[in-house]
Chain A
Amino acid sequence: MANEKRWYSGMLTTEDWWSFWIGIFFVALGVIAAATRVDLTGWIVWFPKWSNISNSLIADHPEMLSGIASLIVSYIIFTIATCIGARAMNMDMKKYFLSWTIIFWLTAILFILSRNAYIQATSIERADLGIDWSLSIGGAHYIIALLFGLIIGNLFPKKFREFMRTAAKPEWFIKIAIVCLGVKLGMKAVDATAFALELLIAGCCATIAAYLLFWPLVYTLARKAFNTTREWAAVLASGISICGVSASIATGGAIRARPIVPVMVSGIIVVFALVELIVLPPVLTYTPWFQEPMAAGSSLGLTVKTDGADAASGEITDVLMRTRAAEELGVEWEEGWITSAAVMTKIWIDMFIGVWALVLAMLWLFYVEKRPDEKVEKMQIWWRFPKFVVGYFLAWFGVMALGLTVISPEAMDWGVHPVESPMRKLFFMLTFTSIGLETDFRRLSEEGMGKMAIIYGLALLIIIIPIGWALALIFHHGMTPPVVGG
Protein backbone atom coordinates (compact mmCIF):
# COMPACT_ATOMS: atom_id res chain seq x y z
CA MET A 1 0.00 0.00 0.00
CA ALA A 2 2.91 2.40 0.70
CA ASN A 3 3.79 2.28 -3.02
CA GLU A 4 0.29 3.11 -4.25
CA LYS A 5 0.65 6.89 -4.25
CA ARG A 6 -0.66 7.71 -7.74
CA TRP A 7 -3.55 6.49 -9.89
CA TYR A 8 -1.02 5.08 -12.37
CA SER A 9 0.95 3.19 -9.73
CA GLY A 10 1.68 -0.34 -10.80
CA MET A 11 0.81 0.28 -14.46
CA LEU A 12 4.05 -1.19 -15.67
CA THR A 13 4.89 -3.51 -12.81
CA THR A 14 1.84 -5.56 -11.85
CA GLU A 15 0.53 -8.77 -13.38
CA ASP A 16 -2.99 -7.38 -13.54
CA TRP A 17 -1.87 -4.42 -15.67
CA TRP A 18 0.26 -6.67 -17.90
CA SER A 19 -2.76 -8.79 -18.70
CA PHE A 20 -4.38 -5.54 -19.86
CA TRP A 21 -1.36 -4.42 -21.93
CA ILE A 22 -0.79 -7.74 -23.69
CA GLY A 23 -4.48 -8.45 -24.26
CA ILE A 24 -5.24 -4.96 -25.57
CA PHE A 25 -2.10 -4.94 -27.74
CA PHE A 26 -3.25 -7.97 -29.69
CA VAL A 27 -6.85 -6.74 -29.82
CA ALA A 28 -5.53 -3.45 -31.25
CA LEU A 29 -3.48 -5.40 -33.81
CA GLY A 30 -6.66 -7.14 -34.88
CA VAL A 31 -8.59 -3.88 -35.16
CA ILE A 32 -5.78 -2.23 -37.16
CA ALA A 33 -5.70 -5.29 -39.42
CA ALA A 34 -9.45 -4.93 -39.93
CA ALA A 35 -9.15 -1.22 -40.72
CA THR A 36 -6.17 -1.48 -43.08
CA ARG A 37 -6.66 -5.01 -44.47
CA VAL A 38 -3.01 -5.65 -43.65
CA ASP A 39 -2.87 -9.10 -42.07
CA LEU A 40 -1.33 -8.53 -38.65
CA THR A 41 -2.98 -11.42 -36.79
CA GLY A 42 -3.54 -14.26 -39.25
CA TRP A 43 -0.29 -15.96 -38.16
CA ILE A 44 -1.83 -17.04 -34.84
CA VAL A 45 -1.86 -20.83 -34.67
CA TRP A 46 -4.96 -22.97 -34.28
CA PHE A 47 -5.23 -26.64 -33.34
CA PRO A 48 -8.13 -28.23 -35.25
CA LYS A 49 -9.50 -31.71 -34.62
CA TRP A 50 -7.57 -34.13 -36.83
CA SER A 51 -7.64 -37.67 -38.08
CA ASN A 52 -4.42 -37.15 -40.02
CA ILE A 53 -1.72 -35.58 -37.87
CA SER A 54 -0.45 -33.51 -40.78
CA ASN A 55 -3.66 -31.50 -40.37
CA SER A 56 -3.21 -30.88 -36.66
CA LEU A 57 -1.89 -27.33 -37.02
CA ILE A 58 -3.17 -24.42 -39.07
CA ALA A 59 -2.69 -20.68 -39.14
CA ASP A 60 -5.97 -18.85 -38.58
CA HIS A 61 -5.44 -17.35 -42.04
CA PRO A 62 -3.98 -20.44 -43.73
CA GLU A 63 -2.90 -18.60 -46.86
CA MET A 64 -0.44 -16.63 -44.76
CA LEU A 65 1.84 -19.45 -43.67
CA SER A 66 1.90 -23.17 -42.92
CA GLY A 67 0.67 -24.70 -39.69
CA ILE A 68 4.08 -25.53 -38.27
CA ALA A 69 5.38 -22.08 -39.25
CA SER A 70 2.42 -20.44 -37.51
CA LEU A 71 3.18 -22.44 -34.34
CA ILE A 72 6.80 -21.29 -34.39
CA VAL A 73 5.83 -17.67 -35.13
CA SER A 74 3.19 -17.79 -32.38
CA TYR A 75 5.80 -19.07 -29.93
CA ILE A 76 8.23 -16.30 -30.88
CA ILE A 77 5.72 -13.48 -30.69
CA PHE A 78 3.99 -14.60 -27.49
CA THR A 79 7.41 -15.21 -25.93
CA ILE A 80 8.45 -11.65 -26.74
CA ALA A 81 5.17 -10.28 -25.38
CA THR A 82 5.24 -12.22 -22.11
CA CYS A 83 8.97 -11.69 -21.63
CA ILE A 84 8.48 -7.94 -21.85
CA GLY A 85 5.86 -8.25 -19.14
CA ALA A 86 8.04 -10.57 -17.07
CA ARG A 87 10.97 -8.17 -17.32
CA ALA A 88 8.80 -5.26 -16.24
CA MET A 89 7.60 -7.33 -13.28
CA ASN A 90 11.22 -8.00 -12.27
CA MET A 91 11.11 -11.74 -12.77
CA ASP A 92 14.28 -13.75 -13.18
CA MET A 93 14.37 -13.55 -16.99
CA LYS A 94 16.52 -16.59 -17.69
CA LYS A 95 14.35 -18.78 -15.46
CA TYR A 96 11.16 -17.25 -16.87
CA PHE A 97 12.20 -17.74 -20.50
CA LEU A 98 13.25 -21.36 -20.00
CA SER A 99 10.24 -22.24 -17.87
CA TRP A 100 7.85 -20.49 -20.29
CA THR A 101 9.41 -22.30 -23.25
CA ILE A 102 8.86 -25.68 -21.62
CA ILE A 103 5.29 -24.78 -20.65
CA PHE A 104 4.49 -23.47 -24.16
CA TRP A 105 5.84 -26.48 -26.04
CA LEU A 106 4.43 -28.99 -23.56
CA THR A 107 1.05 -27.30 -23.90
CA ALA A 108 1.30 -27.25 -27.70
CA ILE A 109 2.17 -30.96 -27.86
CA LEU A 110 -0.64 -31.88 -25.48
CA PHE A 111 -3.05 -29.68 -27.48
CA ILE A 112 -2.09 -31.46 -30.72
CA LEU A 113 -2.32 -34.97 -29.31
CA SER A 114 -5.59 -34.45 -27.46
CA ARG A 115 -7.35 -32.96 -30.49
CA ASN A 116 -7.25 -36.33 -32.20
CA ALA A 117 -10.61 -36.95 -33.85
CA TYR A 118 -11.06 -40.34 -32.17
CA ILE A 119 -10.95 -38.53 -28.83
CA GLN A 120 -12.86 -35.32 -29.55
CA ALA A 121 -14.98 -35.50 -32.70
CA THR A 122 -18.74 -35.36 -32.19
CA SER A 123 -20.94 -37.79 -34.13
CA ILE A 124 -21.78 -34.98 -36.54
CA GLU A 125 -18.12 -34.38 -37.33
CA ARG A 126 -17.08 -38.01 -37.88
CA ALA A 127 -17.99 -38.14 -41.56
CA ASP A 128 -16.02 -34.99 -42.39
CA LEU A 129 -13.02 -36.35 -40.52
CA GLY A 130 -13.26 -39.75 -42.18
CA ILE A 131 -13.76 -41.84 -39.05
CA ASP A 132 -16.45 -44.29 -37.93
CA TRP A 133 -16.33 -43.78 -34.19
CA SER A 134 -15.11 -41.33 -31.56
CA LEU A 135 -15.25 -40.84 -27.80
CA SER A 136 -16.72 -37.32 -28.19
CA ILE A 137 -14.84 -36.05 -25.15
CA GLY A 138 -15.09 -32.34 -25.75
CA GLY A 139 -12.60 -30.36 -23.70
CA ALA A 140 -10.22 -33.30 -23.38
CA HIS A 141 -7.30 -31.02 -24.20
CA TYR A 142 -7.95 -28.88 -21.11
CA ILE A 143 -8.17 -31.86 -18.78
CA ILE A 144 -5.02 -33.44 -20.21
CA ALA A 145 -3.10 -30.17 -19.84
CA LEU A 146 -4.32 -29.88 -16.24
CA LEU A 147 -3.38 -33.48 -15.50
CA PHE A 148 0.14 -33.17 -16.86
CA GLY A 149 0.57 -29.92 -14.96
CA LEU A 150 -0.55 -31.61 -11.73
CA ILE A 151 1.79 -34.54 -12.30
CA ILE A 152 4.78 -32.24 -12.78
CA GLY A 153 3.67 -29.87 -10.02
CA ASN A 154 3.26 -32.58 -7.40
CA LEU A 155 5.44 -35.56 -8.34
CA PHE A 156 8.57 -34.19 -10.03
CA PRO A 157 11.66 -33.23 -8.00
CA LYS A 158 11.21 -30.15 -5.85
CA LYS A 159 13.83 -28.04 -7.66
CA PHE A 160 12.22 -28.67 -11.04
CA ARG A 161 8.72 -27.98 -9.65
CA GLU A 162 9.83 -24.64 -8.27
CA PHE A 163 11.65 -23.79 -11.50
CA MET A 164 8.54 -24.51 -13.56
CA ARG A 165 6.41 -22.31 -11.29
CA THR A 166 8.44 -19.29 -12.45
CA ALA A 167 6.37 -19.04 -15.63
CA ALA A 168 3.29 -20.95 -14.45
CA LYS A 169 1.06 -17.89 -14.16
CA PRO A 170 -2.56 -19.06 -14.51
CA GLU A 171 -4.07 -15.80 -13.33
CA TRP A 172 -2.00 -13.80 -15.81
CA PHE A 173 -2.74 -16.08 -18.76
CA ILE A 174 -6.46 -16.33 -18.06
CA LYS A 175 -6.78 -12.56 -17.72
CA ILE A 176 -5.12 -12.10 -21.11
CA ALA A 177 -7.60 -14.64 -22.47
CA ILE A 178 -10.50 -12.78 -20.85
CA VAL A 179 -9.46 -9.52 -22.55
CA CYS A 180 -9.54 -11.47 -25.84
CA LEU A 181 -12.98 -12.78 -24.86
CA GLY A 182 -14.20 -9.17 -24.78
CA VAL A 183 -13.73 -9.15 -28.55
CA LYS A 184 -16.26 -11.97 -28.89
CA LEU A 185 -18.91 -9.99 -27.05
CA GLY A 186 -18.08 -6.96 -29.19
CA MET A 187 -18.54 -8.96 -32.38
CA LYS A 188 -21.80 -10.38 -31.09
CA ALA A 189 -23.03 -6.86 -30.42
CA VAL A 190 -22.04 -5.89 -33.97
CA ASP A 191 -24.22 -8.78 -35.16
CA ALA A 192 -27.08 -6.87 -33.51
CA THR A 193 -27.92 -9.46 -30.93
CA ALA A 194 -29.19 -8.20 -27.60
CA PHE A 195 -28.10 -11.43 -25.97
CA ALA A 196 -24.71 -10.06 -24.97
CA LEU A 197 -26.26 -7.09 -23.19
CA GLU A 198 -28.86 -9.30 -21.51
CA LEU A 199 -26.03 -11.47 -20.22
CA LEU A 200 -24.24 -8.39 -18.95
CA ILE A 201 -27.28 -7.17 -17.02
CA ALA A 202 -28.30 -10.56 -15.62
CA GLY A 203 -24.85 -11.00 -14.09
CA CYS A 204 -25.45 -8.18 -11.61
CA CYS A 205 -27.01 -10.63 -9.14
CA ALA A 206 -23.53 -11.94 -8.47
CA THR A 207 -22.33 -8.68 -6.93
CA ILE A 208 -25.18 -8.59 -4.45
CA ALA A 209 -24.87 -12.29 -3.66
CA ALA A 210 -21.12 -12.22 -3.07
CA TYR A 211 -20.88 -9.10 -0.91
CA LEU A 212 -24.24 -8.92 0.85
CA LEU A 213 -25.14 -12.60 1.28
CA PHE A 214 -22.07 -14.83 1.06
CA TRP A 215 -19.68 -12.54 2.94
CA PRO A 216 -21.78 -11.92 6.08
CA LEU A 217 -22.90 -15.55 6.25
CA VAL A 218 -19.38 -16.94 5.93
CA TYR A 219 -18.05 -14.34 8.38
CA THR A 220 -20.69 -15.38 10.91
CA LEU A 221 -19.99 -19.08 10.33
CA ALA A 222 -16.26 -18.57 10.91
CA ARG A 223 -16.72 -16.38 13.99
CA LYS A 224 -19.61 -18.13 15.73
CA ALA A 225 -19.36 -21.79 14.71
CA PHE A 226 -15.56 -22.05 14.47
CA ASN A 227 -14.54 -19.40 16.99
CA THR A 228 -12.01 -17.70 14.74
CA THR A 229 -10.60 -14.23 15.28
CA ARG A 230 -11.96 -11.29 13.26
CA GLU A 231 -8.77 -11.22 11.24
CA TRP A 232 -9.18 -14.80 10.02
CA ALA A 233 -12.95 -14.55 9.64
CA ALA A 234 -12.80 -11.41 7.48
CA VAL A 235 -10.09 -12.70 5.16
CA LEU A 236 -11.71 -16.14 4.93
CA ALA A 237 -15.08 -14.56 4.21
CA SER A 238 -13.57 -12.48 1.41
CA GLY A 239 -11.64 -15.38 -0.06
CA ILE A 240 -14.57 -17.78 0.06
CA SER A 241 -17.25 -15.30 -1.03
CA ILE A 242 -15.54 -12.98 -3.46
CA CYS A 243 -12.25 -14.11 -4.92
CA GLY A 244 -9.73 -16.48 -3.42
CA VAL A 245 -6.58 -14.56 -4.18
CA SER A 246 -7.35 -10.91 -4.99
CA ALA A 247 -10.03 -10.41 -2.34
CA SER A 248 -8.05 -12.22 0.37
CA ILE A 249 -5.05 -10.01 -0.25
CA ALA A 250 -7.14 -6.84 -0.56
CA THR A 251 -8.96 -7.64 2.68
CA GLY A 252 -5.74 -8.52 4.44
CA GLY A 253 -4.34 -5.15 3.42
CA ALA A 254 -7.51 -3.26 4.36
CA ILE A 255 -7.72 -4.66 7.88
CA ARG A 256 -3.93 -4.83 8.33
CA ALA A 257 -3.93 -8.57 8.87
CA ARG A 258 -0.69 -10.46 9.31
CA PRO A 259 0.72 -11.54 5.88
CA ILE A 260 0.37 -15.23 6.73
CA VAL A 261 -3.43 -14.90 6.83
CA PRO A 262 -4.20 -14.03 3.18
CA VAL A 263 -1.38 -16.29 2.02
CA MET A 264 -2.88 -19.35 3.69
CA VAL A 265 -6.44 -18.46 2.68
CA SER A 266 -5.34 -18.05 -0.94
CA GLY A 267 -3.57 -21.39 -0.78
CA ILE A 268 -6.60 -23.34 0.40
CA ILE A 269 -8.92 -21.66 -2.08
CA VAL A 270 -6.68 -22.44 -5.06
CA VAL A 271 -6.85 -26.13 -4.12
CA PHE A 272 -10.64 -26.08 -3.68
CA ALA A 273 -11.07 -24.17 -6.94
CA LEU A 274 -9.16 -26.93 -8.68
CA VAL A 275 -11.47 -29.57 -7.19
CA GLU A 276 -14.49 -27.55 -8.34
CA LEU A 277 -12.95 -27.23 -11.81
CA ILE A 278 -12.77 -31.01 -12.08
CA VAL A 279 -16.12 -31.82 -10.46
CA LEU A 280 -18.57 -29.11 -11.48
CA PRO A 281 -18.43 -29.17 -15.32
CA PRO A 282 -19.48 -32.83 -15.66
CA VAL A 283 -22.00 -32.41 -12.81
CA LEU A 284 -23.59 -29.46 -14.62
CA THR A 285 -23.50 -31.17 -18.01
CA TYR A 286 -24.95 -34.53 -17.02
CA THR A 287 -27.72 -33.37 -14.69
CA PRO A 288 -30.87 -31.27 -15.36
CA TRP A 289 -28.58 -28.22 -15.41
CA PHE A 290 -28.04 -29.18 -19.05
CA GLN A 291 -31.48 -27.69 -19.74
CA GLU A 292 -30.21 -24.33 -18.46
CA PRO A 293 -26.77 -23.88 -20.05
CA MET A 294 -26.37 -20.13 -19.45
CA ALA A 295 -27.54 -20.47 -15.84
CA ALA A 296 -25.02 -23.28 -15.46
CA GLY A 297 -22.25 -21.03 -16.73
CA SER A 298 -23.33 -18.26 -14.39
CA SER A 299 -23.42 -20.67 -11.44
CA LEU A 300 -19.72 -21.29 -11.96
CA GLY A 301 -18.98 -17.58 -11.65
CA LEU A 302 -20.84 -17.58 -8.34
CA THR A 303 -19.26 -20.72 -6.89
CA VAL A 304 -15.70 -21.02 -8.24
CA LYS A 305 -13.52 -18.56 -6.42
CA THR A 306 -10.50 -17.85 -8.61
CA ASP A 307 -10.64 -16.15 -12.00
CA GLY A 308 -8.47 -18.84 -13.52
CA ALA A 309 -10.50 -21.81 -12.32
CA ASP A 310 -13.80 -20.03 -13.02
CA ALA A 311 -12.98 -19.28 -16.66
CA ALA A 312 -11.39 -22.68 -17.05
CA SER A 313 -14.43 -24.50 -15.66
CA GLY A 314 -16.66 -22.31 -17.82
CA GLU A 315 -14.68 -23.32 -20.88
CA ILE A 316 -14.89 -27.04 -20.06
CA THR A 317 -18.62 -26.79 -19.37
CA ASP A 318 -19.02 -24.89 -22.65
CA VAL A 319 -17.35 -27.66 -24.61
CA LEU A 320 -19.07 -30.51 -22.74
CA MET A 321 -22.54 -29.00 -23.06
CA ARG A 322 -22.13 -28.10 -26.73
CA THR A 323 -20.92 -31.61 -27.46
CA ARG A 324 -23.90 -33.12 -25.63
CA ALA A 325 -26.31 -30.71 -27.38
CA ALA A 326 -24.87 -31.69 -30.76
CA GLU A 327 -25.06 -35.40 -29.95
CA GLU A 328 -28.46 -35.60 -28.27
CA LEU A 329 -30.42 -32.60 -29.50
CA GLY A 330 -28.87 -32.21 -32.94
CA VAL A 331 -28.33 -28.54 -32.08
CA GLU A 332 -25.07 -26.68 -32.57
CA TRP A 333 -24.77 -23.92 -29.98
CA GLU A 334 -22.33 -21.11 -30.66
CA GLU A 335 -19.16 -21.65 -28.72
CA GLY A 336 -17.98 -19.34 -25.95
CA TRP A 337 -21.34 -18.21 -24.53
CA ILE A 338 -21.40 -20.52 -21.53
CA THR A 339 -17.80 -19.50 -20.86
CA SER A 340 -18.89 -15.86 -21.15
CA ALA A 341 -21.66 -16.42 -18.59
CA ALA A 342 -19.13 -17.83 -16.12
CA VAL A 343 -16.67 -15.00 -16.78
CA MET A 344 -19.25 -12.21 -16.75
CA THR A 345 -20.66 -13.30 -13.40
CA LYS A 346 -17.19 -13.40 -11.88
CA ILE A 347 -16.34 -9.99 -13.36
CA TRP A 348 -19.40 -8.50 -11.65
CA ILE A 349 -17.96 -9.80 -8.38
CA ASP A 350 -14.35 -8.77 -9.07
CA MET A 351 -15.22 -5.20 -10.00
CA PHE A 352 -16.17 -4.26 -6.47
CA ILE A 353 -13.22 -5.73 -4.58
CA GLY A 354 -11.79 -2.25 -4.13
CA VAL A 355 -15.07 -0.88 -2.80
CA TRP A 356 -15.31 -3.72 -0.30
CA ALA A 357 -11.70 -3.22 0.78
CA LEU A 358 -12.53 0.43 1.44
CA VAL A 359 -15.63 -0.50 3.45
CA LEU A 360 -13.72 -3.02 5.56
CA ALA A 361 -10.83 -0.60 6.10
CA MET A 362 -13.26 2.01 7.41
CA LEU A 363 -15.07 -0.49 9.65
CA TRP A 364 -11.82 -1.75 11.09
CA LEU A 365 -10.47 1.73 11.72
CA PHE A 366 -13.69 2.83 13.40
CA TYR A 367 -14.77 -0.24 15.36
CA VAL A 368 -11.73 -2.48 15.77
CA GLU A 369 -8.73 -0.17 15.96
CA LYS A 370 -10.91 2.67 17.22
CA ARG A 371 -9.18 5.36 15.14
CA PRO A 372 -12.14 7.15 13.55
CA ASP A 373 -10.09 10.23 12.67
CA GLU A 374 -7.68 8.32 10.46
CA LYS A 375 -8.48 8.70 6.76
CA VAL A 376 -8.85 5.81 4.36
CA GLU A 377 -7.70 6.54 0.85
CA LYS A 378 -10.60 6.32 -1.60
CA MET A 379 -8.08 5.63 -4.35
CA GLN A 380 -8.11 2.09 -2.93
CA ILE A 381 -11.17 1.55 -5.09
CA TRP A 382 -9.11 2.18 -8.26
CA TRP A 383 -5.94 0.51 -7.03
CA ARG A 384 -7.89 -2.64 -6.20
CA PHE A 385 -10.04 -2.55 -9.37
CA PRO A 386 -9.07 -5.51 -11.56
CA LYS A 387 -7.42 -3.96 -14.60
CA PHE A 388 -8.08 -6.95 -16.86
CA VAL A 389 -11.76 -6.02 -16.54
CA VAL A 390 -10.90 -2.63 -18.04
CA GLY A 391 -9.30 -4.49 -20.94
CA TYR A 392 -12.31 -6.79 -21.30
CA PHE A 393 -14.81 -3.93 -21.54
CA LEU A 394 -12.49 -1.84 -23.72
CA ALA A 395 -12.16 -4.74 -26.16
CA TRP A 396 -15.92 -5.36 -26.08
CA PHE A 397 -17.14 -1.81 -26.54
CA GLY A 398 -14.24 -0.77 -28.77
CA VAL A 399 -14.86 -3.56 -31.27
CA MET A 400 -18.60 -2.96 -31.09
CA ALA A 401 -18.33 0.80 -31.66
CA LEU A 402 -15.88 0.50 -34.54
CA GLY A 403 -17.73 -2.43 -36.10
CA LEU A 404 -20.98 -0.47 -36.08
CA THR A 405 -19.44 2.65 -37.59
CA VAL A 406 -16.19 2.84 -39.51
CA ILE A 407 -15.16 -0.78 -40.06
CA SER A 408 -17.39 -3.33 -41.81
CA PRO A 409 -18.40 -6.37 -39.74
CA GLU A 410 -16.77 -8.72 -42.25
CA ALA A 411 -13.47 -6.84 -42.09
CA MET A 412 -13.66 -6.67 -38.30
CA ASP A 413 -14.26 -10.39 -38.05
CA TRP A 414 -11.33 -11.07 -40.41
CA GLY A 415 -9.00 -8.92 -38.34
CA VAL A 416 -9.99 -9.85 -34.79
CA HIS A 417 -11.04 -13.50 -35.16
CA PRO A 418 -7.45 -14.80 -34.70
CA VAL A 419 -7.30 -12.96 -31.35
CA GLU A 420 -10.83 -13.81 -30.21
CA SER A 421 -10.56 -17.51 -30.99
CA PRO A 422 -7.11 -19.16 -31.48
CA MET A 423 -5.21 -16.79 -29.20
CA ARG A 424 -7.85 -16.92 -26.48
CA LYS A 425 -7.95 -20.73 -26.56
CA LEU A 426 -4.17 -21.04 -26.58
CA PHE A 427 -3.98 -18.88 -23.46
CA PHE A 428 -6.76 -20.95 -21.90
CA MET A 429 -4.62 -24.05 -22.52
CA LEU A 430 -1.59 -22.34 -20.99
CA THR A 431 -3.79 -21.53 -18.00
CA PHE A 432 -4.77 -25.16 -17.51
CA THR A 433 -1.17 -26.35 -17.65
CA SER A 434 -0.19 -23.61 -15.21
CA ILE A 435 -3.03 -24.35 -12.76
CA GLY A 436 -1.75 -27.90 -12.61
CA LEU A 437 1.86 -26.81 -12.12
CA GLU A 438 0.96 -24.32 -9.43
CA THR A 439 -1.37 -26.47 -7.35
CA ASP A 440 0.57 -28.15 -4.58
CA PHE A 441 -1.49 -30.67 -2.63
CA ARG A 442 1.20 -30.73 0.04
CA ARG A 443 -0.16 -27.38 1.26
CA LEU A 444 -3.19 -29.18 2.62
CA SER A 445 -1.00 -30.85 5.21
CA GLU A 446 0.30 -27.58 6.62
CA GLU A 447 -0.67 -26.63 10.13
CA GLY A 448 -3.98 -24.80 10.32
CA MET A 449 -5.07 -25.81 6.86
CA GLY A 450 -7.36 -28.50 8.26
CA LYS A 451 -9.62 -26.04 10.09
CA MET A 452 -9.69 -23.68 7.12
CA ALA A 453 -10.51 -26.55 4.78
CA ILE A 454 -13.45 -27.52 6.98
CA ILE A 455 -14.74 -23.95 7.11
CA TYR A 456 -14.32 -23.61 3.34
CA GLY A 457 -15.94 -26.96 2.57
CA LEU A 458 -18.89 -26.28 4.86
CA ALA A 459 -19.36 -22.74 3.52
CA LEU A 460 -19.30 -24.09 -0.02
CA LEU A 461 -21.84 -26.84 0.68
CA ILE A 462 -24.36 -24.96 2.82
CA ILE A 463 -24.00 -21.35 1.68
CA ILE A 464 -22.22 -20.73 -1.62
CA ILE A 465 -23.51 -23.57 -3.79
CA PRO A 466 -27.19 -23.58 -2.72
CA ILE A 467 -27.56 -19.80 -2.91
CA GLY A 468 -25.34 -19.48 -5.99
CA TRP A 469 -27.25 -22.14 -7.90
CA ALA A 470 -30.62 -20.65 -6.96
CA LEU A 471 -29.59 -17.16 -8.06
CA ALA A 472 -28.03 -18.39 -11.29
CA LEU A 473 -31.36 -20.01 -12.16
CA ILE A 474 -33.50 -17.06 -11.12
CA PHE A 475 -31.42 -14.61 -13.12
CA HIS A 476 -30.60 -16.72 -16.19
CA HIS A 477 -33.31 -19.34 -16.62
CA GLY A 478 -34.45 -19.87 -20.15
CA MET A 479 -31.31 -18.36 -21.70
CA THR A 480 -29.63 -20.68 -24.18
CA PRO A 481 -26.64 -19.97 -26.40
CA PRO A 482 -27.49 -18.79 -29.92
CA VAL A 483 -27.46 -21.53 -32.55
CA VAL A 484 -24.74 -21.53 -35.20
CA GLY A 485 -26.09 -20.03 -38.39
CA GLY A 486 -29.33 -19.16 -36.65
Chain B
Amino acid sequence: MSQEQKDFSEEAPQEPEPWEEWETKLVKWSLIIGVGALIVLGSLINIFILH
Protein backbone atom coordinates (compact mmCIF):
# COMPACT_ATOMS: atom_id res chain seq x y z
CA MET B 1 0.00 0.00 0.00
CA SER B 2 1.46 3.41 -0.98
CA GLN B 3 1.86 6.16 1.63
CA GLU B 4 -0.95 8.07 -0.07
CA GLN B 5 -3.27 5.07 0.15
CA LYS B 6 -2.34 4.58 3.82
CA ASP B 7 -3.07 8.25 4.49
CA PHE B 8 -6.38 8.00 2.73
CA SER B 9 -7.39 4.70 4.27
CA GLU B 10 -7.18 6.42 7.65
CA GLU B 11 -10.09 8.56 6.44
CA ALA B 12 -12.30 5.63 5.53
CA PRO B 13 -13.37 4.31 8.95
CA GLN B 14 -13.95 7.85 10.29
CA GLU B 15 -17.63 8.47 11.03
CA PRO B 16 -19.06 11.66 9.50
CA GLU B 17 -20.05 14.24 12.08
CA PRO B 18 -23.78 14.77 12.57
CA TRP B 19 -25.25 17.70 10.67
CA GLU B 20 -25.51 20.73 12.96
CA GLU B 21 -27.65 23.83 13.15
CA TRP B 22 -24.85 26.18 12.09
CA GLU B 23 -24.41 24.21 8.86
CA THR B 24 -28.11 24.69 8.12
CA LYS B 25 -27.77 28.41 8.75
CA LEU B 26 -24.64 28.66 6.59
CA VAL B 27 -26.30 26.92 3.65
CA LYS B 28 -29.66 28.63 4.03
CA TRP B 29 -28.36 32.17 4.34
CA SER B 30 -25.77 31.71 1.58
CA LEU B 31 -28.50 30.62 -0.80
CA ILE B 32 -30.91 33.38 0.23
CA ILE B 33 -28.29 36.12 -0.09
CA GLY B 34 -26.91 34.62 -3.29
CA VAL B 35 -30.25 34.33 -5.07
CA GLY B 36 -31.27 37.81 -3.90
CA ALA B 37 -28.01 39.37 -5.08
CA LEU B 38 -28.24 37.66 -8.45
CA ILE B 39 -31.79 38.88 -8.96
CA VAL B 40 -30.79 42.47 -8.18
CA LEU B 41 -27.56 42.40 -10.20
CA GLY B 42 -29.15 40.53 -13.06
CA SER B 43 -31.88 43.15 -13.28
CA LEU B 44 -29.42 46.04 -13.17
CA ILE B 45 -27.15 44.53 -15.78
CA ASN B 46 -30.02 43.71 -18.10
CA ILE B 47 -31.43 47.22 -17.78
CA PHE B 48 -28.22 49.24 -18.02
CA ILE B 49 -25.75 47.11 -19.98
CA LEU B 50 -27.44 44.44 -22.05
CA HIS B 51 -29.52 46.46 -24.48
A residues with CB within 8 A of B: 198, 201-202, 204-205, 208-209, 211-213, 215-217, 219-220, 223-224, 227-230, 232, 258-261, 263-264, 363, 367, 446-448, 471, 474-479
Main secondary structure of the interface of B (DSSP, over half): helix
Bitwise, B31-51 to A at CB < 8 A (1) or not (0) is 101110110011001100111
Q: Shortest Cβ distance from A15 into chain B, in angstroms? A: 22
Given A209-B34, A475-B42, A477-B50, A447–B8 Cβ distance below 8 Å?
yes
19 example contacts (A-B, Cβ-Cβ < 8 A) are as follows A202-B45, A205-B38, A205-B42, A208-B38, A211-B34, A215-B30, A216-B34, A223-B23, A258-B7, A258-B11, A259-B7, A261-B11, A264-B4, A367-B22, A446-B4, A448-B12, A471-B42, A475-B50, A476-B50
**A363: chain B residues within 8 A (beta carbon):** 22, 26
Cα of A269 to Cα of B40 in the assembled complex, Å = 32
Contact status A212-B34, CB under 8 Å: yes
With an 8 Å Cβ cutoff, the count of chain B residues facing the other chain is 32
Contact status A230-B17, CB under 8 Å: yes
**A447: chain B residues within 8 A (beta carbon):** 5, 8-9
**A217: chain B residues within 8 A (beta carbon):** 27, 31
Given A230-B17, A479-B50, A260–B7 Cβ distance below 8 Å?
yes
Cα of A266 to Cα of B9 in the assembled complex, Å = 18
Q: Shortest Cβ distance from A371 into chain B, in angstroms? A: 15
Contact status B41-A204, CB under 8 Å: yes
Given A202-B45, A215-B30, A363-B26, A208–B37 Cβ distance below 8 Å?
yes
**Most chain B CB neighbours (cut-off 10 Å) among A212, A219, A228, A448:** A212
Contact status A211-B30, CB under 8 Å: yes
Cα of A215 to Cα of B26 in the assembled complex, Å = 10
Q: Shortest Cβ distance from B27 into chain A, in angstroms? A: 4
Contact status A219-B27, CB under 8 Å: yes
Contact status A264-B8, CB under 8 Å: yes
A216, A448, A476, A479: which contacts B30 (Cβ < 8 A)? A216
Q: Shortest Cβ distance from A220 into chain B, in angstroms? A: 5
**B45: chain A residues within 8 A (beta carbon):** 201-202, 205, 475
Q: Shortest Cβ distance from A439 into chain B, in angstroms? A: 17
**A448: chain B residues within 8 A (beta carbon):** 8, 11-12
**B17: chain A residues within 8 A (beta carbon):** 229-230
Cα of A475 to Cα of B48 in the assembled complex, Å = 11
B4, B10, B26, B51: which contacts A216 (Cβ < 8 A)? B26
Cα of A224 to Cα of B30 in the assembled complex, Å = 17
Contact status A260-B16, CB under 8 Å: no
Q: Shortest Cβ distance from A263 into chain B, in angstroms? A: 8
